[in-house]
Amino acid sequence: MQHLKIYIDGQFVDEPDAKVSVFDHGLLYGDGIFEGIRFYNGRVFLFEEHLDRLFDSAKAILLTIPMERAALHEAVLETCRQNNLRDGYIRLVVTRGKGDLGLNPNKCKQPTVFIIATTIELYPEKCYTEGLRVNTVPTQRVSAAAVSPAIKSLNYLNNILAKIEGNLYGAQESILLNQQGFVAECTADNIFVVKQDKIFTPHVSDGALGGITRRLMFDLAREMNREIREVNLTRYDLFVADELFLTGTGAEVVPINEVDGRKIGSGLAGPVTQQFIKHFRQRTQNSGVAIY
């Protein structure tokens, strides 16, 4: 059996040998950052945008990435090459590194970098035509005054608690509200509403991560001679939407067919959502940084 090759701190090792210390603060406290990046047809999609966000997240938590950007860029590409992959998913992680059992990040002398490249299928293909069943959950999005949603950190417990509640409900994805009762985001995706041929999405200030795929939707909308408006959205806006769809690096663009027991539109991917899926997939096949 051939093992995946994992990049860890300057070396490529077989997956069983890819280890971090039990004293690593990424493990002990979620003290670290990451990016999930897709590659299609031998090209890393929106690569520079993901690296921009990684370095911004690092700056926000005073974490020094122990590699120059060009070296990190090459390490990501080489991880894909080492595994002979042309389509898949990259997880790029930087932890605070090994420290002691105290919280103090100053005790961590050397950050850890590891990169995984593998295949992925977050949802079966039928979900992109039939849609997902989602629910809103009691767990609220963490306040931006506590932890900024713009930081793509390793601490995802807020999202995981929401995912657990969704699992108990039997939903495929879950929606978190912020402390004001406005829609923030899903556990791993941003959300868009189509109503009377207009497109809306929550403000990032409402608790939504400024997703890379979310940002791309604004570009695709302009290509389609459409406009996306950032507004405060409530559960009611979701219930009465003509169409709903989610976006994320893993999920790509996927329709929603039901929210909290309310059928959305026809119960299948609507025409606007279908347009976004089509334009997104066209973009993935002919843009990005070449791996080989």
Catalytic residues: 152
CA-CA distance, 18 to 4, in Å (whole number)?
Answer: 10
- Number of Cβ within 10 Å of residue 223's Cβ equals 11
Q: What's the per-residue H, E or C state across 101-130?
A: CCCCHHHCCCCEEEEEEECCCCCCCCHHHH
- The CA-to-CA distance between both ends of the chain, in Å, stands at 25
Q: CA gyration radius for the chain?
A: 19
- The burial class, CB within 10 Å (0-12 / 13-18 / 19+), for 52 is middle
Q: How far is 30 from 292, CA to CA, in rounded Å? A: 34
How many other C-beta atoms lie within 10 A of the C-beta of residue 292? 9
Alpha carbon 53 to its chain's center: 12
Measured torsion, CA atoms of residues 135, 149, 164, 200, in degrees rounded to the nearest 10: 10
Burial of 190 (0-12, 13-18, 19+ CB in 10 A): buried
Three-class SS string for 200-242? EEECHHHCCCCCHHHHHHHHHHHHCCCCEEEECCCHHHHHCCC
